Amino acid sequence: MLAPEIIRRKRDGHTLQAPEIAAFAQGLADGSWSDAQAGAMAMAILLRGMDRAETVALTEAMTASGAVLDWSQAGLPGPVLDKHSTGGVGDKVSLLLAPIVACCGGVVPMVSGRGLGHTGGTLDKLEALPGYTVDQPPDRLAAVLRSVGCAIVGASARLAPADRRLYAIRDVTATVESVPLITASILSKKRAAGLQALVLDVKVGSGAFAQDAALAHTLATSLVQVARGAGLPATALVTDMAQVLGSTAGNALEVRESLDALTGRAADARLLDVTLGLSAELLHLGGLHASVDAALQAARQALASGAAAERFARMVAALGGPADVLRDAQLPTAPVQRVVPAPRAGVVAALDVRAIGLAVVALGGGRRRNGDTVDPRVGFSGVRGLGTAVQAGTPLATVHAASADAADAAAAALLAACRIDDSAPPPPPWLHARIAG
């Protein structure tokens, strides 16, 4: 099938057939489609859209473009489950969810990503732990899953290579925002990981990709319907990202907050609500509990008993990190730490969470371009949430920076991102919607 003819058909609004879509995915994987042709196709899909059947076909074709993990002979102790988030600021849920689900009988081969734009990346967070190695060969990954039940690692280049190439092309051709392309990108990688069930965390708010409710619901519905159409049971929760999730943003700081939550030293209520809600959905979807309520109780017990903390420590040690991360995490600290005081009394009424994420990137905690080195030490701690009453001089957050000048810039960015009024409506709930197939 000729690439120009397939592009022309989608450009003119026709519904593509599965063989045409398979030819596109194969051309991405083997290089027979040029970057120009792939970019043109991505733009045609962005402008003309894809129906559910087309998106299922694209997901399946990109999954089949590389290796698909098969756990049937690996001797794993439970169903293979995972979670995916569309990304936010301070989103450290994966670090809590994976060990919780493992304690409750699931097996979690969590293939995660790095920071993108203003959003943080799970792999960057974990690499703040000295020695933690995200690139693991399949036999080592299987061994860790058998012994620990969870492993948070990076994607192999062998998984969904068609998506790997298309993702890079979308980034430079203004075609990132296509819901069918986002859907197929997420699900092709997850299906290639050999999952039996998937829960999706679709963020909505100023710190999310989907900043309005309509887009978040459209994306969540697409993900669930296409996943199920491709044979992967899935449920999506639309969760709030109108404020930083938890009280930290920045890699080592978020690991520290996660350890505090796992051990019960300190825990943000919204972070726990999101984590436990997603864990319960996944445990129910994976057949480990007859109801979401029963699964929620099991997840809470795994956290409260300390079993999830112990499981996280075993995972970190097995993947090359500190031998006893609960006692000595060996996390790096920034040389400059500066409190950002509230300029007036009132209530935190609004936060530009995207701007806060970009401030972390500017500190060095994210990448401005591919190949940048991430500074794990920097970011914000003690970030005040919506509805918090403050006095003039009350700390709004603490900046962790590599230099005084960087701390000054980050403090100014945080103040510009925070609106303090005399009063404010109640903050939005953590859960906006639940979408099941």
Report the catalytic residues.
82-85, 122, 170, 185, 189-190
The CA distance from 51 to 73, in Å, is 36
| DSSP annotation string for 187-211 | HHHHHHTT-SEEEEEEEESTTSSB-
| Cβ neighbours of residue 238 closer than 8 Å, sequence gap 6 or more | 202, 203, 204, 213, 216, 217, 220, 431, 432, 433, 434, 435
Bridge-partner residues for 435, per DSSP?
236
3-state DSSP percent of the chain in helix, strand and coil, to 5 = 45, 15, 40
Helix (H, G, I), strand (E, B) or coil at 348: strand
What are the φ/ψ torsions at residue 374 (nearest 5 degrees)?
-90, 135
- CA distances from residue 422 to 342, 353, 419 in whole angstroms, order as listed: 13, 21, 10
Do the beta carbons of residue 234 and residue 200 sit within 8 Å? yes
CA angle in degrees (0–180, nearest 5) for 336-123-262: 75
What are the φ/ψ torsions at residue 232 (nearest 5 degrees)?
-115, 110
What are the b/e assignments for 110-135, b being 16+ CB within 10 Å?
A: bbbbbbeebbbbbbbbbbbbeebebe
The CA distance from 131 to 422, in Å, is 48
What are the φ/ψ torsions at residue 229 (nearest 5 degrees)?
-65, -25
Q: Which of 161, 86, 91, 158 is nearest to 124 (CA)?
A: 91
Helix (H, G, I), strand (E, B) or coil at 347: strand
Do the beta carbons of residue 423 and residue 347 sit within 8 Å? yes
